Structure 1
Amino acid sequence: MKPHNRKGAHSRPNTYLSRKKRTVVMHDIAALQHRIAQELLDIGIPEQPENLYDPIRYMLQIGGKRIRPLLTLMAADLFTIPDMGQALPAALAIELFHNFSLVHDDIMDNAPLRRGQQTVHERWNDNIAILSGDKLLIMAYTQLARCDSDKLPPLMETFNTMAAEVCEGQQLDMDFENKISVGIDEYIQMIRLKTSVLLGTALKMGAILADAHETDATLIYHFGVNVGIAFQLQDDILDVYGDPQHFGKKRGGDILANKKTYLLVKALDMADAETKAELTHWLADRSQPAAKIDGVTAIYDKLGVQSAVEAAKQTYIQQAFMALDNVRVESTRKAPLRTLAQNLLVRTQ
């Protein structure tokens, strides 16, 4: 393994992050998540203009499990980076980009809640949310530029590819709202781009920083992408069947927006002519939100759509763990990533 250029590495001493040749275990994860949250608080956000920076502070403080930056640090550790502190700027870049995308997505989706709190555009307004989101993206690139200079070319290529794909996925998601028919394969491609490539990229960037072999970096990327697809299928289920108090979003938001979730696409595929006509009626109805949510949910229940989505989710979980199994690192070192993925994919919120 070639030596690391320490230029741009995080300079703050940290007992946990500076330890060498150790494997992250599950009880360490809370400490890493706390460290990521603290780094975000200490990132140096100016006070003025208030309407630019207050929404950024708000977005970064309203919670979230910091899963994506955590994956970057865990991948760096998996491939034995000499000092995990070197992966912190990349981890922060991933989290800042994620929050940028959420701020803008919430505007486009007209979402009232994020992590159980008012969305930025609801608390301020659309224009402020757009500009604050733009600034979050700039902050992400600022952090990325702090990574080791010899790693910047592959990191930038990986990050930029992901950023472009996330935009493509969001556009497809919006296009699907007005598209009469969407196939299962089309839907999976959309969520792969919109949601899953960010998880894969978070892991791959950690691998790059740790000088992982290209084959292993690709495998850990595919592990993340497949976990991300399964995660989004679980999200689709929770939008209809989750507890809003735990999920942090209003129930049935995707139904009201006529989003082509896996549940809706599968229901349209499974329904007979009469049921499809009933479902089409509800999709056209925008005057009775509560009745629409209940009506569509009843159709899902009748068709057994939830079980079909669960089965698809299991397929992607299996593909994810197959990729992880093929990473050429001893299995004990991969166990924390496997456990984290399992915990994410049985969540209720």
Structure 2
Amino acid sequence: MMWAWQLIVLLLVLLVIPYGMGQALTPGNGKIYTYFSGLCASWLLFEGFSVVYHIACGSLRQMSWLWVGICALLAIYGYWKKRELSPFRKEWLAGWNRTEIFFLILVTGIIVIIVGNTVFNTFYGNYDDETYCATAVTSWYTDTVNRYAPNSGEFKPPFYHVRYVLASWPIYSSTIAVLTGIHPAIVFRTILPIFEIPVTCLVDYLLIANFLPKRKNALFATFLLLLLTLQTAELSDMTSREWWFVVNCWTGKAVAGNLIIPLVWWLLCRLEQEKERLQYRACKVTLFFACNASCMISSTLTYVVPFELIVFGMFYLFRTKRWKEIFFFFAWCVALPAVIGVVSYVVSNLPYLNQ
């Protein structure tokens, strides 16, 4: 029955708890906003714990249970707060015609094929992959938060390699391993792709649907996109987004390029289009958590996400004339990741500046 416990914990950590946190933190009743705001809020909280426990050389297992406990309490409050809004209501497919359901089945089928291919049929070991996976395994064995060098096993001072320390995505695998009892290498390369690929496909669909409002057109375009993704991944030479999505989707930079950047883009589009007040506020909350949780995925996002927001934000402000939004864009969504990025760069270069 160990597998049943592991499955329950995975569903709780990756789906149930994030949705409950979203209900506690997000106004309105939009399911997509609710889930992504809760997921990104849990990642943001995890990043905070990881940095503190990394500096203090604290116990990974203590941090893991403390993090999931706080998230669970917040999720319980969220489910109680919006207890009249069940996420399992029967009208999920209400209004869908046969053509749309057919395309939904096609998209689901190709997602299953991609997941199966990634989990059972692909492997690529480069420096990044070996570093990320080894960091997860080393932290799990030593019961620390990235304080031992994964290539030598030597105990290191805080922020010994700030780019890899700051982005705590490998430690997330270690935490799931602690909670489930599954080896972190299996979590990293086998379990997480089962979650990452469908969520990435959902974001791709949302982004496509923003430009193709008819559901059947958006589903068909998503199906074609996934087919082309498979073909491109097969023919490319490790330099394309499609290859990273199919072969190496568990690394932080793959999650950054395939999930976070498109998610922020979709949220920016929705921010301009939302007319209803609660939905507009929900979009802003989700965007805030997504931008600031990006630091946990990849240190590169501390530069890419602010650049994405600055470029889009300028056009957004000129088009909508919502000049009051400038504080939200540049203080909360741009400044925080950028400050983290600048600080990490300075810290990483201190040894060279002192020479």
The TM-score with structure 1 as length reference comes to: 0.30
The TM-score with structure 2 as length reference comes to: 0.29
